[in-house]
Structure 1
């Protein structure tokens, strides 16, 4: 089986232009492709996971990835899938985030001469002359066609700034520049990027002629993958200092039954034959599938040793409900207590088990919270400092355990 068909069978391909030519290029390792990452934080999260795994798969098949960091477009902000304008970041913050991204990406793809490259579009976008851009690139864009793009239509009612309106032109210019200077002949992105990507392909053809080969392809769930990166308690990061390997493991261990095989197929590197044998799994077998998913992805991001520790800790906690040295832990400080007491809602938010007091209140009212073995029924309950002098285990639902200490 060629790599293109494997991507299709794993459910990764949604739309393409010139499918047969794309298939031939990818299967023969002739694609130099880019995927863009906006540096909006100092860590990638699980919403980026599919793109990283795709880059790894294609590089293993002989193709050359370009990780495009949006240091320039990050100064503007992508309106795709958003209902408000993204806050502005400083140049220093963007550069710091870019540096952090590369360290994390190196776990997935191999950088170096003739291998993967990382580029920052600030290197060419920040030097553009506005008048020259309008004449050279702006003349290739139809405002009417741009306004038909879904990413803009969603924002028209609430307001779309002229700053954001330029994002499509800048992203299209990225592909044009990469095509000319890096031999990039293909771009990948999520469904929410389809319009921007098509404009990039069209810009190359308008500027360089119809014979210029520029291909466009989208991933089936990359847009959904961005949502995957968010949980009730915030983002699930690839940085172990932001999301511990144990919490990362637990995130995947707790995916919905309906999603587990889809995630295994899309995100792990297990053979399709092995995955297809799981299609009929039900009940307890799905729990086993979730353990496989959690272990494989934790090993991919954090290494086998951390995956082993997370798996052992999860099994220990699940079986006994007891403590574990690998259990995620929050250290409380004097500032967390008022008159030697802390409210249960404050505790849940402090430990990252709820994103807000409102969410914590719903958890308690739903009967899903226990502290030190006692079920909490009153959202107003206060806990004395002495509760935390020894190991205090907080249980949320049936599967999430957290330790709070002084």
Structure 2
């Protein structure tokens, strides 16, 4: 067997690991990763467990993807300040099917035939009394309270922790036991916030069967505010469903990664060899203004998530919007403008409304990028507004000569934000 620990380590994909895992992975090993169906779409952070599944499968091990149709009914308390809102069974079932389809599509892109399971299939058959007799008896309350996810919540002044969330770690531990017995699964992999749940499963397998089991965690990818992707607090997630996050916004997320972070991300989110990545990094450092790594990663991940056709459109739109030549939009055909209109923030205005006269500040307010006209006016005075790539310094009325492609007007706010109106 190829040394997968070394492979994952240089990529920065190992946070914690159980001692002895190196020897276990010298022979074919079955591993699994779980996915929480608390939404109808995976998000950027969900790509890491999928990447881990693919790495293990490529190295000759057997990977299992597990959707938590049962555990989703409770909700993992890990890394949460407050209790979860329970989802209805109908919503959870819809989420589970949606996520299963996303996982299969992402895995099939790399031609990896990985088994996909749903823990509801076996947990639905267990009675409450059987569970607390056969599983609960192995874990003292002191052990459960010592878990970080429980300890953090148990002292919460308002909500504390419910019994259902308190039991979550045991149910996930039972998943590991079940897969160990039915699929000979000896390894669970998850984000670093799952370490407590993973070790509960390892302990359950040891106490119940006397067998040795293992765990590996990978670092969490976080939003700019430090909160992990998947959390609903403060900033929005980058979703894999194009209805929740537009492909343009998805593509621009990767394009806007800092030079400091991009060298880490190119290791984590691609399957390029070590030599190729080192060569790309060296080339990027020579000409950082070309954003070689950002473009490479944006192209690869967007094609993986949204397909080749959409990826090509995002490349074209990005080149058009950020091109530094005079009046590039005058050279574009209507098909390209339609693509731009459909993929970036936009608004429709009737020709009758346009004929009555529309001032720039009114458009800026309607765009949603500014909360008020006064805020938009401050941006205008700060030389942050461009109209069809031309700097605008006052509240002009939009005229016919401002229309490009016969019916479009393109606005730019600062260096990276765009908004387009369509006049018909």
The Cα shift of 1:266 comes to 0.7
The Cα shift of 1:178 comes to 1.4
The Cα shift of 1:69 comes to 0.8
Q: Structure 2: which 5+ residue stretches go unaligned?
A: 330-335
Rounded Cα–Cα distance in structure 2 between residues aligned with 1:149 and 1:126: 26
Q: Are 2:385 and 1:370 equivalent residues in the alignment? A: yes
- TM-score, length-normalised on structure 1? 0.83
Residues 5-47 of structure 1 show CA distances to partners (whole Å, capped at 9, x for unaligned) of 111110101111134xx3344454x121111111111111111
Match 1:273 to one of 263, 272, 275: 275
Counterpart residue number, 2:320: 316
Rounded Cα–Cα distance in structure 2 between residues aligned with 1:66 and 1:270: 23
State which structure, 1 or 2, has the greater radius of gyration over its C-alpha atoms: 2
The Cα shift of 1:398 comes to 0.8
Rounded Cα–Cα distance in structure 1 between residues aligned with 2:275 and 2:156: 48
Q: Structure 1: which 5+ residue stretches go unaligned?
A: none
Counterpart residue number, 1:70: 68
Match 1:130 to one of 115, 128, 131: 128
Give the 3 Å change call, closer, same or farther, for CA 110–208 of structure 1 in structure 2. farther
Counterpart residue number, 2:228: 227
Match 2:366 to one of 325, 335, 347: 347
Counterpart residue number, 1:247: 249
Rounded Cα–Cα distance in structure 2 between residues aligned with 1:11 and 1:129: 41
Give the secondary structure class of the aligned counterpart of 2:142: helix
Give the 3 Å change call, closer, same or farther, for CA 310–368 of structure 1 in structure 2. farther
The Cα shift of 1:322 comes to 5.6
Counterpart residue number, 1:306: 310
- TM-score, length-normalised on structure 2? 0.79
Give the secondary structure class of the aligned counterpart of 1:282: helix
Residues 224-275 of structure 1 show CA distances to partners (whole Å, capped at 9, x for unaligned) of 7972468987221212333333322111000122110100001111211121
Q: Are 2:288 and 1:285 equivalent residues in the alignment? A: yes
Rounded Cα–Cα distance in structure 2 between residues aligned with 1:46 and 1:109: 15
Rounded Cα–Cα distance in structure 2 between residues aligned with 1:67 and 1:201: 18
Contact 2:71 2:119 in 1 (8 A): yes
Aligned-residue CA RMSD in angstroms? 3.6
Q: 1:75-224, aligned counterparts within 5 Å?
A: 75-110=73-108, 115-155=113-153, 156-158=155-157, 159-209=160-210, 212-221=211-220
Counterpart residue number, 2:55: 57
Give the 3 Å change call, closer, same or farther, for CA 329–141 of structure 1 in structure 2. same
Residues 165-223 of structure 1 show CA distances to partners (whole Å, capped at 9, x for unaligned) of 111111111111111122221100111110111011000111111xx131111112357
Rounded Cα–Cα distance in structure 1 between residues aligned with 2:240 and 2:78: 23
Moved more, 321-330 or 266-275: 321-330
Rounded Cα–Cα distance in structure 2 between residues aligned with 1:376 and 1:146: 62
Contact 2:34 2:67 in 1 (8 A): yes
Rounded Cα–Cα distance in structure 1 between residues aligned with 2:186 and 2:239: 31
- Deviation beyond 4 Å, 4+ runs, structure 1: 222-226, 228-233, 278-281, 320-324, 339-346, 360-369, 373-378, 381-389
Give the 3 Å change call, closer, same or farther, for CA 27–251 of structure 1 in structure 2. farther
Q: Are 2:401 and 1:397 equivalent residues in the alignment? A: no
Residues 67-93 of structure 1 show CA distances to partners (whole Å, capped at 9, x for unaligned) of 111111111111111111222111121
Rounded Cα–Cα distance in structure 2 between residues aligned with 1:86 and 1:345: 38
Give the 3 Å change call, closer, same or farther, for CA 330–258 of structure 1 in structure 2. closer
Rounded Cα–Cα distance in structure 2 between residues aligned with 1:347 and 1:46: 29
The Cα shift of 1:150 comes to 1.4
